[in-house]
Amino acid sequence: MATTTTLHQLLNAGADAAPAIRASGVPPLTYAAFRNLVAHTIDQLNSFGIGRGDRVAIVLPNGPEMATSFVAVASAATAAPLNPAYRHDEFDFYMSDINTKALIVEEGSTSPAVRVAEERGIMCITLKLDSQNGAGAFTLTASGSGTPPSQTGAAESGDIALILHTSGTTSRPKIVPLSHRNVAASAGNIATALGLTADDRALNIMPLFHIHGLIAGVLAPLSRGGSIFCTPGFNALKFFHAMDEAAPTWYTGVPTMHQAILSRASHNQEIIARHKLRFIRSSSSSLPPQVLSELEATFNAPVVEAYGMTEAAHQMASNPIGAKRKPGTVGIAAGPEVAIMDTDGNLLKAGEIGEIVIRGANVTGGYENNAKANGEAFTNGWFRTGDQGTIDADGYITITGRLKEIINRGGEKVSPREVDEVLMDHPAVLQVVTFAIPHDKLGEDVAAAVVLREGQEATERELRDFANEHLAHYKVPRKILLLPEIPKGATGKLQRIGLAQKLGLA
């Protein structure tokens, strides 16, 4: 297979008449139509004064148009997908931070992003649905036209395809530029790890302003000529209806999504039996082993846990399908090289704990306009992930914690993930997030937020006693909060950093 280094090349994997994008109630968009849409969008954006290297913010609802516009815009310029739920000030920060030249919104949009564009003199481009030509087909109109761009035509491998911000939970969000070569390499890595073919049908429930949905949900299936059924976003109540309509062979999600799906599974056994999944993928945060087992038992399909991050254009490691699997690990290197490094930059041996580092074609060349962050992030050509972990003799990677999330209780280091997994073994517990709370003498102490299973009961004392039976005394949470729901980030991830403040415990 020839090496694919741009997004528009990636679309060549699909047969002309094969469906690329599918959605509810509309005909599919074929690969031939998708390729024509991309070529037309490149010409249109060029005529508006937008060319290679120009930043185009995309603020659209989740769905087929978000998927197609991302690929088409990135093929002409630099796509910057933004969370449609942002407020005015957030749009103002992100759009100004990346020097946005144009904004794409749907026809009739009332998004605050439109006002930000007006205030900042940013060109506003309206996307109008053209569904009769297939799911995700669209036309564009601009509020004006700029000067002709200096670089026109289809993007090249070194051009920046996608620009995203880090989550910024502990500092100002950093800008992560990802080249066409980065994202095409990552899409290929994921497709190879999952054994994707043109016969596979993906069901996308992930938000498409986030690296997981964009690369694993959209680009990986396209890189093998497969199809994607695009939903309006994740809704546990509508998941099985979408599954029945899409007849997928796989889907990818974050652990909280899988847990919500499991809560509805008993009412949808006929649909599960009717549409046999080849596998289920989980990424973006650690999947509790208990949830993995329940997913496999419910769907009678293997669960593939993968490890990714924005700076790696998503995937770094993955549990292999049909080969040796070690639950509790994130599998083996699946694309980039992966190693363990100490604080002095020395690579460690198998079994030794240190920081997980990566290098490869999918890894960003560096944060934009941030020499300090790049100096801290790169050592001898390796990117430091900020995750603590170990690699065993077979190459299987175990994440023991996020370095910034490790709880330092008076000098004793506590891995929140270890505490999570113990509490998840309690029969009444559905979800757990262990996190640090301030302590006047120890510096930090251990706390946990817990959601109980429907119809189950447990007290804080009972859960602490249970933890005490399985953990050293210093690891047992001093405080356990029983909550109806744990606050999540925009992509559905449970976030430890900042949780004490959100829950009023700081």
What CATH number did the domain enclosing 372 receive?
3.40.50.12780
Residues 333 and 383 in one domain: yes
Q: Is the pLDDT of residue 68 over 90?
A: yes
Residues 361 and 272 in one domain: yes
- Point out the domain boundary residue: 338, 367, 402: 402
Residues 360 and 417 in one domain: no
Average pLDDT, the chain: 93
- Point out the domain boundary residue: 144, 162, 178: 144
In a domain, 171, yes or no: no
Residue with tokens 């026109």: 152
- Please compute the mean of the pLDDT values over residues 135-159 and round it to a whole number: 91
Residues 458 and 398 in one domain: no
Residues 369 and 482 in one domain: no
What CATH number did the domain enclosing 467 receive?
3.30.300.30
Q: Is the pLDDT of residue 19 over 80?
A: yes
In a domain, 3, yes or no: no
> What's the 3-state SS for 257-274?
HHHHHHHHHHHHHHHHHH
Q: Is the pLDDT of residue 325 over 90?
A: no
Q: Please give the backbone phi and psi of residue 332, each rounded to the nearest 5 degrees, phi first.
A: -110, 165
pLDDT for position 171: 58
In a domain, 271, yes or no: yes
pLDDT for position 2: 61
- Please compute the mean of the pLDDT values over residues 19-29 and round it to a whole number: 97
Two tokens at 384? 């430091």
Residue with tokens 């973006």: 284
In a domain, 19, yes or no: no
Amino acid occupying residue 1: M
Residues 356 and 437 in one domain: no
Q: Which residues contact 502 (CB under 8 A, 6 or more apart)?
A: 487
Residues 372 and 413 in one domain: no
* Whole-Å CA distances, 21 to 67, 186, 278, 456: 8, 20, 20, 42
Two tokens at 476? 């047992």
Determine the structural domain holding residue 217 and report its residue range. 191-402
Q: Is the pLDDT of residue 501 over 90?
A: no
Residue 384 pLDDT class (50, 70, 90 cuts): very high
- Please compute the mean of the pLDDT values over residues 169-194 and round it to a whole number: 90
In a domain, 449, yes or no: yes
Q: Is the pLDDT of residue 373 over 70?
A: yes
- Point out the domain boundary residue: 384, 402, 420: 402
In a domain, 452, yes or no: yes
Q: Could you report the per-residue pLDDT of 439-493, keeping only the tens digit for each? A: 877 778 999 999 999 999 999 999 999 999 988 788 999 999 999 998 887 767 7
DSSP β-bridge partners for residue 413: 408
